[in-house]
A = this chain, B = another copy of it.
Amino acid sequence: MIRVQREDFDVGAELKALTQGRHEIGGVVSFVGLVRDMAGDAKIGAMTLEHYPGMTEKQLGEIEAEALRRWPLAGSLIIHRYGRLEPGEQIVLVITASAHREAAFEACHFLIDWLKTKAPFWKLEDTDKGAQWVAAESRDDKAAARWVKK
């Protein structure tokens, strides 16, 4: 499942909804991304997440479908927020559930790595040194490249 929304999300409620009554699930892995208060040596007051409505959902759906092809998942969820967010606020949630923990760990890690390099979101940070668009990081490209099938 994919949700792109301005509102915050409740991780506990989402975990419960995904696993409720699904007694074949043995392991659930979740990742929550939070707004940090520092970018290098600049202090962040807030950030604004811009996205591409339509393509964002499409890309996230394709990334999730790829995870479901690669791992035997009993369920998965991606929620990504947009708009203005302050330090400490939740940005993104990825949950994967499977009979065994190995598949859940790998699929969750894959989803956030691919999302970071493929889903059309852009971060504008308000810092004490002015507003700046966040630059893509080469380590994110490397993290995503690990999952490209040889």
Contact = CB atoms under 8 A, between A and B. Distances in A.
A36 B20 CA distance: 12
Q: Is the interface of A mostly helix, strand, loop or mixed?
A: mixed
A29 B31 contact: yes
Contacts of A38: 23-24
A112 B105 CA distance: 11
B21 A27 contact: no
A24 B12 contact: no
B31 A28 contact: yes
Given A15-B12, A21-B88, A36-B26, A105 B109 contact: yes
A37 interface: yes
Copy number in the complex reads: 2
A25 B29 CA distance: 18
A36 B99 contact: yes
A139 to B, nearest CB: 8
Interface residues of A, number: 36
B15 A26 contact: no
A13 interface: yes
23 contacts: A10-B12, A11-B12, A12-B13, A12-B15, A19-B34, A20-B88, A22-B88, A23-B37, A23-B38, A24-B38, A25-B34, A26-B33, A27-B32, A28-B31, A29-B29, A29-B30, A29-B31, A31-B105, A36-B99, A101-B112, A105-B105, A105-B108, A105-B109
